[in-house]
């Protein structure tokens, strides 16, 4: 019997996005990049600044999701989270954990 949470296909990631009032998106993907922008006032004008980036990649042995934070005063984004899971088709990672989280700040 299949689990309700079991993936319906071989894709590595799933994205669920709600962007009210415009609509929503639900998709499976082999890799992903989501950029979240917000309105800021800078240099005498308003602009949309991409403040958060979420990247998902299949690195062969592992699936990795990175969360980056961007600021107009910084030269580079800062990684605030890196979440890794076992490679597709493998029940558990070598360390026995199915999901590991690294929550230290890393300049990219």
Summarised one tens digit per residue, pLDDT across range 38-71 is 999 998 999 999 999 999 998 878 899 999 999 9
- Over its C-alpha atoms, the chain yields an Rg (Å, rounded) of 17
**Pairwise CA distance, residues 4 & 11, whole Å:** 16
Q: What is the pLDDT of residue 94?
A: 54
Closest residue by Cα to residue 28 from 42, 52, 7, 6? 7
Q: What is the pLDDT of residue 104?
A: 85
Neighbours of 25 (CB within 10 A): 11
Any idea of the CA torsion for 49, 101, 10, 32, to the nearest 10 degrees? 10
Flag the least confident range among 55-64, 69-78, 95-104: 95-104
Average pLDDT over residues 19-41: 93
Q: How confident is the model at residue 90 (pLDDT cuts 50, 70, 90)?
A: low
Q: What is the pLDDT of residue 11?
A: 83
Q: What is the pLDDT of residue 25?
A: 92
* pTM for this entry: 0.81
Q: What is the pLDDT of residue 95?
A: 58
């Amino acid at each position: 019997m299949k689990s309700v949470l079991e993936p319906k296909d071989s894709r590595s990631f799933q994205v669920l996005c709600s962007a009210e009032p415009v609509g929503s998106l639900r998709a499976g993907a082999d890799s992903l990049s989501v950029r979240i922008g917000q309105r800021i006032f800078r240099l005498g004008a308003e602009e949309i600044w991409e403040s958060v980036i979420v990247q998902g990649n299949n690195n062969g042995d592992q699936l990795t999701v990175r969360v980056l934070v961007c600021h107009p005063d910084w030269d580079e984004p800062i990684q605030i989270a890196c979440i890794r899971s076992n490679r597709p088709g493998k029940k558990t990672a070598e360390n026995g954990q199915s999901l590991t989280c690294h929550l230290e700040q890393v300049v990219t």
